[in-house]
Amino acid sequence: MKRLYIGGLGHTVSEKDLKDRFGKFGDVSDVEIVTRKDENGAPLKRFGYININITDAEYKRCVGILNKSTWKGGTLLIQLAKESFLHRLAEERQQLVEKAKAPKIIPQEKLVDSFKAAGVENFHMKAAVPGTEIPGHANWVVSKFGRVLPVVNLKGKGKNKVFKYDPSKHCHNIKRLETADDVTSVSKLTWEIKGGDDEISKKRRGEFPKQKPCPKRSKIDLSLFLSNLAQRNAMNAAATGNKNKVAIQQNGLSAVKTGKQKSVCVFDNDSDSEDEIRMLVAQEHLRNPKQTSTEDDDDNLEVVGDDFVVKSNAFWGGVEQDDVKTSLLTSTKDDEEYDSADTDEILTRRKTQTQAESAPVTQDSPTESSKNKSSSESDEGSDEADDEDDVSVDSDYEAMMGNCYRLDLSLADLEQLAKKAEVISDDESVEEPKEEAKTPSAPPKKTGNNPEDILASLLVDDTPEKESKKKKYQVNTVSLPAFIGTKDLFGGPEPSLKRLAPNIDGESSKRLKQDLKLKEQSISEDTQSSNRLSQQKLSTLNIQRGAKKLESKASTSEDDSSSEESESSGDEDVFTSKTSSASQSVVPETELKTVSSNNSKTPIKPNQTKTSRSSSSGSSSEESESSEDEDSAGVLTSKTPSVAQSVKTISKTQMKSVSSNNSKTPVKPNQTKTSRSSSSGSSSEESESSEEEDNAKVLTSKTSLATPLARTIPETELKTVSTNNSIKPKQTKTSRSSSSDSSSEESETSDDENSRTQTKDSKSADSKSVQENVVSHQTVPHSTVIDAKKQQQDNQKRLAALEQRQKETEQQKKLIQGALSNVDAAKVNKSKHIVFDSDEDDEEEDETTSRPEQPPTNLKKSLFEDDSGSDEDQQTSMLEEKKNNKPGGSKLFDSEDEDDGAEDEQFQIKPQFEGKAGQKLMELQASFGTDSRFQVDSRFLESDAEPEDQDEAAPEEDADKQLLEEKKKSLDILQSILNTNIQPQNTRKGKMFKYDDFGCSLSMFCSFRLFLKDYVCFCRDVSSLHYDPTQEEHTAFEAKTEEPKKESKAARRKKRIEAEKLPEVSKDVYFDISVDLKEVFGTSKENQDKKETVSWDKEAEDPEDIMKHMEVSFTSNAEANEDTSGGFKFSFFGEDTAVETTTKTDEYKIETVKGAKFSWQADPRFQDSSSDEEEVDEVEEDQSASNEITEEPTTSKKTFFFFYQNDERLKEGPGMFCRSVKLQDQREAWEEKRTSLREECRKKHRDAKRRQRPSLKT
Amino acid sequence: MRPLTDEETKTMFEKLSKYIGENIRLLIDRPDGTYCFRLHNDRVYYMSERILKLATNISRDKLVSVGTCFGKFTKTQKFRLHITALDFLAPYAKFKVWVKPGSEQSFLYGNHIMKSGLGRITENTAQYQGVVVYSMADVPLGFGVAAKTTQECRMVDPMSIVVFHQADIGEYIRSEDTLT
């Protein structure tokens, strides 16, 4: 079947025509005519296709016939045409179907099959040499190991290069891979480890043991715990509980922490609730209250205030006194729990106990009760005495003593002592000494005891015991109110007291010293050896303190007594007559003394006027008993019964007080020379000794009575003393003389008495130590028996103490001997004591020198006369003592003198009032320090002194001036650094303003205080040019003796400087010492006054000056100060003139002098200066203004610490707390502002960002 | 030996005032005599007038030390306190720090004081305030500078430094040959 194209058909030819035409040649199946038309539709040509089943021959014939033939208007063109596409498509599809139907042939199999044909099996041809071609396969080659490999054409890297790779040619490169038969499949790898049960394997397996469950915290039942707590609290002392709490609070770190740490043992750490923690802490504290404090210390950070004071004051001598004071106080407070309680309370406690115990005992037998009380009370008495001493200590004293070492005894110790004593009292008298000795008794150093309280407590104790005592007590009670304080004394009506005050102080200090010594002796002698030791230490340490106390108490009566003493000494000559008077006088005094062994507080002094000696004895010993004794004394011979009473009373009194007091006085009556006995009592001070004396007398008169007494008195030593006393009748004369001496130095007199007895009796040694006991035994057989046992026991314990005491006793002996030699024409004795002799000579010299009025022939004055010499004599005596310090003196004596001398120095000031000569003397001494040589010289060379000094001072002055300037400069710099106003303390200007209005009382008080302070200063200055506060008190005078030259030089230098500067100061300045005083002690008020005066003066005097002041810089002010200060220093010399001209100022002069020397009280002063300057400025500013203006600021400045009166701040302040605008308004305003603020903020933010961007770019 | 110039005095006082504040006045203006500062070999000595006079007898090159050495001026004219000044700082010190016994030794070997060794401190101690260091028995051990305020001291961890060491009495042994 062919497809023919027929072209050139005419328009009229139809398909049928075609069919018919070509039908002749074959079968025509399909005719298709196509007409081509132009745009207009007019047919251009016409052609058609026909499918015809024609053979080739027919096709040829057809073409031959019909081709190019014209048919119906067109010429036919016949051609073979391509098969129609539809036909073709159908044919292709048919072919595909046919292909799919045909079976597929795999080439690999084909290959394998073909290879098989060629003898190749599994691509291996055996026994074929490599390189052989496989037949039928061109590209296959046999290679190594007979493998059949294809030859590969590889395209090289180059463009069209093709490499032919024939494996047969590289067959050496081919290795045969071993077949791994043991290869383990992945599934057979170790996927699990199987192990034992041990830990490691388990852990290897990843099995970890289960965490043990935390032990559950045991929850505490709160209520139960609280109940527990309460119980414990009840058991523990409240004090401890408080302490703990305080400690907890104080700990800087939270208490919670500590609680946790401590509670670990009991509870888990996890305690969270605060309550629980707190409870834990409390519990812990309860358990170990003591440990807590230390632990807290360790665990926690402690924060202390600025005022925290370092404990070890002694370590730093330079510590400020205030600090020391506080530290002392605190330390004592902190000592123990007991300390927290008032000593009063403790005392009362103790007493109640003692009462309970003693009450029944007393009923049993008088002797026993007496024993008990004696033992217990002796302890108490000593303690109390000490307490009282402390009480007497006032702030001044503390300031003074701050640097001294102190023995701190806890009240607990005391209590222990007391208890022990009580126990012992129950026991036999023999046992007492031992136990007492065992008890470590330390003298209590407790401040803040009220002496009155103590007395009251004592009274309470004693009252139930014996009615006879009641009398005494009544007397005591009466006397008590008299002892109020130093202020009262000063406040007293007597204006003269002021002047006397210094004198009194000196005396009192002396007495105190003596008392202390006596105490020491008595105490040491007492069975309580331990007490002795401690007290001795204390006494030595505190001698100065004692002196101070005395000063503070400044008993005017003592002055009287001193003056009176001389008289009394004269009276003593008449033994009997005075005894009565003495006893009377003694009564009040003794009472006082009972209160405090020292009893320098002699409010009763008026009584003493009669019996100075008795007073002395009273002071040393004591009291109510003495009154009783007085009664007995009244009947000298007939006293035996009275003696018995006295004995009883003594026993009682012992219980109360040191007991030494009582016995003395009663003994005296027995002795015809009561005065003597009193003196002896004073010397020994041990009531016990007096008691023993009584006993001795009793022995003579009533031995029976004596024996019980002896038993009652466990302290044998006292007895020995008493024995000595009993011997006194012989000594009475000597004692008298000694008593006269005693006026000068009471202690000496007492010693003298003892020594007399000793010397005469050849028992001097005994009085000192154990030997005394032997003597006592001899004299009093009864007592000796009993005493022997006690003494033996006691002796062992005392031995140590005795050694210490021996020195003192020796000194006393010497003194006594010396005194005796003088009195009794004991030139023999003189030879023994070189020192004392020299003293006497000195005294004489001093007298002559000090009192030009008296004829130089006074040298031969009897001691008695000297005593009568009143205050002046005392001064002289003091001077003498100083001179005694000369190297010639024996060591022991010197040591005593030192103590005395220190106190005596105070007295130097006194003479001023007495006379011009005295004043000068004092000044000179003060200026030169204690150098004896210079003092003497000054007296003689009054006229020469000044010019000399000036001459010598000239070269040195430069250096000193430079130093001063340097100091000023440095102070200025310091000022600038600190921005505070600091003024050199040394610049003690007697300001130029006069003070006419000086409150009498105020001035007195001030003067007294000033005196005290000055005294302290004085001591320091004298004793040490180097800064060692702890030593000065004791060694003050040693230093002088050793290095008189240095001090003298220094003093001289100072003097010179002062002298040089003196001329600069106008006299006006000088006489206004009162200003100085006020400055020193002045309150703010005074300062104000001053300011006012300043401003007024300046205005009134010279406004021009004020202008000048304006120009003057601050430094200039300092200079001015310097000038004034310099002027002040010379006050000694200046004063002379001043004194001459104006007697009025005498009183204050002393203070000024001292003030000049010691500058550290100057604090108020620099306020002054600053204020002055301010004032000046104000004046300048307001010059034009009236005075009122100037006044205003001063008045307004009335300070209430922080504010003025009418302080503006106070007015403005409250306004700050009120809302000035309505809340609504405020809110609105805030809203407005808020928006603006927000914008502002955004803007800034934007700006900042913008700024940041460039910075980032760069 | 010469007195200090104003500048020197100022620097020294500024240093001293860090420890004892206005108590310097008590050193200059003493009641028991005239005392002064002297410069010798760049060191400042504090001595009494008497010693000063005595010292004039000794030539400068032979003079090793007079009075108490307070410290020395460095080449840059700063003042450095020496341990020898402790005797005068301790009694007047305003701010104190107490060191626990356990860390005393550490401090005496020249180490700073850690919080753990701090036993007690004066309240209101400012940062960089000069403090005197005491043992718990109140024995002055040296001085230093507070690294933290008292408040901070409470918070910080135990190993942080609380006081910077400046001088301790161990220096008497450690720098025996340089101390005068």
CB-CB neighbors (< 8 A) of A982 in chain B: 22, 25
* DSSP string for A228-275: HHHHHHHHS-HHHHHHHHHHHHH-SS-HHHHHHHHHTTTS-TT---HH
Distance of alpha carbon A761 from alpha carbon A693, whole angstroms: 14
The answer to whether A598 and A550 have CB atoms below 8 angstroms apart is: yes
Q: Which of A306, A318, A973 is the closest to B91 by Cβ?
A: A318
pLDDT for res A373: 43
User: Which residues, 6 or more positions from B107, have their beta carbon under 8 angstroms from its beta carbon?
Assistant: B99, B113, B117, B133, B141, B142, B165, B168
pLDDT for res A29: 83
Residue pointed to by tokens 């008292």 = B150
pLDDT in tens, A901-920: 444 444 544 544 555 556 66
Calculate how close chain A gets to B141, using CA atoms only, in Å: 13
pLDDT at residue A1244 greater than cutoff 90: yes
Distance of alpha carbon A400 from alpha carbon A547, whole angstroms: 11
pLDDT in tens, A139-176: 888 887 778 888 888 887 777 788 888 877 777 777 77
Distance of alpha carbon A713 from alpha carbon A708, whole angstroms: 8
**Contact at CB, B137 and A308, closer than 8 angstroms:** no
Residue A1049, token pair as written in the block: 């030089």
Calculate how close chain B gets to A956, using CA atoms only, in Å: 11
CB-CB neighbors (< 8 A) of B9 in chain A: 969-970, 973
User: Which residues, 6 or more positions from A716, have their beta carbon under 8 angstroms from its beta carbon?
Assistant: A527, A772, A773, A776, A783, A787, A790, A791, A794
CB-CB neighbors (< 8 A) of A301 in chain B: 115, 118-121, 153-154
CB-CB neighbors (< 8 A) of B70 in chain A: none
The answer to whether A984 and A1121 have CB atoms below 8 angstroms apart is: yes
Residue B21 region by backbone torsions, left for phi larger than 0, else alpha for psi between -120 and 50, else beta: left
**Contact at CB, B121 and A960, closer than 8 angstroms:** no
Distance of alpha carbon A1092 from alpha carbon A398, whole angstroms: 35
Q: What is the pLDDT confidence band of residue A190, given thresholds at 50, 70 and 90?
A: confident
pLDDT for res A855: 43
Distances (CA, A) of A570 to A617, A737, A738, A847: 16, 9, 11, 20
**Contact at CB, A304 and B120, closer than 8 angstroms:** yes
Distance of alpha carbon A329 from alpha carbon B99, whole angstroms: 24
Q: Which residue of B has its CA nearest to A979?
A: B22
Q: Which of B50, B53, B123 is the closest to A305 by Cβ?
A: B123
- Tell me the mean pLDDT in the region A1066-1088: 51
Residue A269, token pair as written in the block: 């750490």
User: Which residues, 6 or more positions from A603, have their beta carbon under 8 angstroms from its beta carbon?
Assistant: A479, A482, A483, A484, A489, A555, A557, A592
pLDDT for res A570: 41
User: Which residues, 6 or more positions from A100, have their beta carbon under 8 angstroms from its beta carbon?
Assistant: none
Which of the residue ranges A220-229, A1202-1211, B31-40 would you say has the lowest mean pLDDT? A220-229
User: Which residues, 6 or more positions from A78, have their beta carbon under 8 angstroms from its beta carbon?
Assistant: A4, A5, A6, A7, A62, A63, A66, A67
User: Which residues, 6 or more positions from A325, have their beta carbon under 8 angstroms from its beta carbon?
Assistant: A395, A398, A399, A402
pLDDT, greater one: B37 or A247: B37
Q: Which residue of B has its CA nearest to A985?
A: B29
Pick the residue of A307, A958, A977 with the most B CBs within 10 A to test the interface with B by mutation: A977
* Cα angle A412-A415-A421, degrees, rounded to a multiple of 5: 145
CB-CB neighbors (< 8 A) of B122 in chain A: 303-306, 308
pLDDT at residue A946 greater than cutoff 60: no
Calculate how close chain A gets to B81, using CA atoms only, in Å: 17
pLDDT at residue A805 greater than cutoff 70: yes
User: Which residues, 6 or more positions from A489, have their beta carbon under 8 angstroms from its beta carbon?
Assistant: A497, A553, A554, A555, A556, A603
pLDDT at residue B77 greater than cutoff 80: yes
CB-CB neighbors (< 8 A) of A959 in chain B: 53
Distance of alpha carbon A1025 from alpha carbon A1033, whole angstroms: 13
Q: Which of A33-42, A417-426, A518-527, A1168-1177 has the highest mean pLDDT?
A: A33-42
Distance of alpha carbon A989 from alpha carbon A311, whole angstroms: 37
pLDDT for res A1059: 58
* DSSP string for A868-932: HTHHHHHHHHHHHHHHHTSTTS-HHHHHHHHHHHHHHHHHHHTHHHH-HHHHHHHHHHHHHTT-H
What percent of chain A has a predicted confidence (pLDDT) above 90? Answer: 2
**Contact at CB, A1026 and B29, closer than 8 angstroms:** no
Pick the residue of B11, B26, B28 with the most A CBs within 10 A to test the interface with A by mutation: B28
**Contact at CB, B34 and A960, closer than 8 angstroms:** yes
CB-CB neighbors (< 8 A) of B48 in chain A: 1025-1026
Residue pointed to by tokens 């051990």 = B141
pLDDT for res A416: 65
**Contact at CB, A973 and B6, closer than 8 angstroms:** yes
pLDDT for res A216: 54
pLDDT for res B142: 92
What percent of chain B has a predicted confidence (pLDDT) above 90? Answer: 22
SS (H, E, C) A555-583: CHHHHHHHHHHHHHHHHHHCHHHHHHHHH
The answer to whether A21 and A6 have CB atoms below 8 angstroms apart is: no
Q: What is the pLDDT confidence band of residue A228, given thresholds at 50, 70 and 90?
A: low
| Closest-CA residue to A127 (of A146, A147, A149, A150) | A146
Q: What is the pLDDT confidence band of residue A95, given thresholds at 50, 70 and 90?
A: very high
- Chains A and B: how many Cβ contacts under 8 Å? 136
**Contact at CB, B123 and A1024, closer than 8 angstroms:** no
pLDDT in tens, A265-276: 444 444 445 666
Name the E strands within A453-531.
none
The answer to whether B35 and B48 have CB atoms below 8 angstroms apart is: yes
Q: Which of B90, B121, B123 is the closest to A316 by Cβ?
A: B90
Distance of alpha carbon A909 from alpha carbon A875, whole angstroms: 9
Q: What value does the mean pLDDT of chain A take?
A: 55
**Contact at CB, B121 and A304, closer than 8 angstroms:** yes
H and E: helices and strands count for chain A: 60, 13
Calculate how close chain B gets to A285, using CA atoms only, in Å: 20
What residues are paired with A153 via a beta bridge?
A164
pLDDT for res A295: 40
pLDDT in tens, A98-122: 888 876 677 777 888 888 877 777 7
pTM for the predicted model, two decimal places: 0.28
pLDDT at residue B137 greater than cutoff 80: yes
Which of the residue ranges A205-209, A312-316, A397-401, A992-996 would you say has the lowest mean pLDDT? A992-996
**Within a 10 A sphere around the Cβ of A43, how many other Cβ atoms?**
10
pLDDT, greater one: A409 or A680: A409
Q: Which residue of B has its CA nearest to A974?
A: B13
Q: What is the pLDDT confidence band of residue A1169, given thresholds at 50, 70 and 90?
A: very low
- Tell me the mean pLDDT in the region A484-505: 41
**Contact at CB, B124 and A306, closer than 8 angstroms:** yes
**Contact at CB, B121 and A1025, closer than 8 angstroms:** no
Q: Which of A60-64, A277-281, A648-652 has the highest mean pLDDT?
A: A60-64
3-state secondary structure of B139: coil
Q: What is the pLDDT confidence band of residue A233, given thresholds at 50, 70 and 90?
A: low
Q: Which of B9, B37, B139 is the closest to A312 by Cβ?
A: B139
Distances (CA, A) of A78 to A7, A17, A18, A28, A31: 6, 15, 12, 14, 14
Calculate how close chain A gets to B61, using CA atoms only, in Å: 22
Calculate how close chain B gets to A245, using CA atoms only, in Å: 19
Calculate how close chain B gets to A1017, using CA atoms only, in Å: 9
Q: Which residue of B has its CA nearest to A980?
A: B22
Calculate how close chain B gets to A1171, using CA atoms only, in Å: 19
Angle subtended by helix axes A366-392 and A343-364, to nearest 10: 160
* Cα angle B114-B17-A1158, degrees, rounded to a multiple of 5: 130
Q: Which of A312, A971, A1046 is the closest to B25 by Cβ?
A: A971
pLDDT for res A290: 44
**Contact at CB, A967 and B28, closer than 8 angstroms:** yes
Distance of alpha carbon A583 from alpha carbon A608, whole angstroms: 10
**Contact at CB, A971 and B28, closer than 8 angstroms:** yes
**Contact at CB, A980 and B22, closer than 8 angstroms:** yes
Residue pointed to by tokens 């403090």 = B131
pLDDT at residue A1086 greater than cutoff 70: no
- Amino acid identity, position A1082: G
**Contact at CB, B32 and A1021, closer than 8 angstroms:** yes
What percent of chain A has a predicted confidence (pLDDT) above 70? Answer: 24
ipTM reported for the complex, 2 dp: 0.75
- Tell me the mean pLDDT in the region A1236-1256: 89
Q: What is the pLDDT confidence band of residue A21, given thresholds at 50, 70 and 90?
A: confident
3-state secondary structure of A619: helix
Q: Which of A302, A316, A1025 is the closest to B91 by Cβ?
A: A316
pLDDT at residue B76 greater than cutoff 70: yes
**Contact at CB, A974 and B134, closer than 8 angstroms:** no
pLDDT at residue A370 greater than cutoff 70: no
**Contact at CB, B96 and A304, closer than 8 angstroms:** yes
Q: What is the pLDDT confidence band of residue A1079, given thresholds at 50, 70 and 90?
A: low
pLDDT for res A1239: 93
In the sheet that B113-114 helps form, which strands lie side by side, from edge to edge? Answer: A302-304, B118-122, B96-99, B130-135, B140-146, B161-168, B113-114
| CA gyration radius, chain A | 63
Q: Which of A223-227, A298-302, A1253-1257 has the highest mean pLDDT?
A: A1253-1257
**Contact at CB, B29 and A971, closer than 8 angstroms:** yes
pLDDT for res A1193: 46
| Closest-CA residue to A665 (of A569, A602, A594) | A594
The answer to whether B12 and B71 have CB atoms below 8 angstroms apart is: yes
- Tell me the mean pLDDT in the region A1168-1181: 44
The answer to whether A428 and A711 have CB atoms below 8 angstroms apart is: no
SS (H, E, C) A133-189: ECCCCCCEEECHHHEEEECEEEECCCCCCEEEECHHHHHHHCCCCCCCCCCCCHHHC
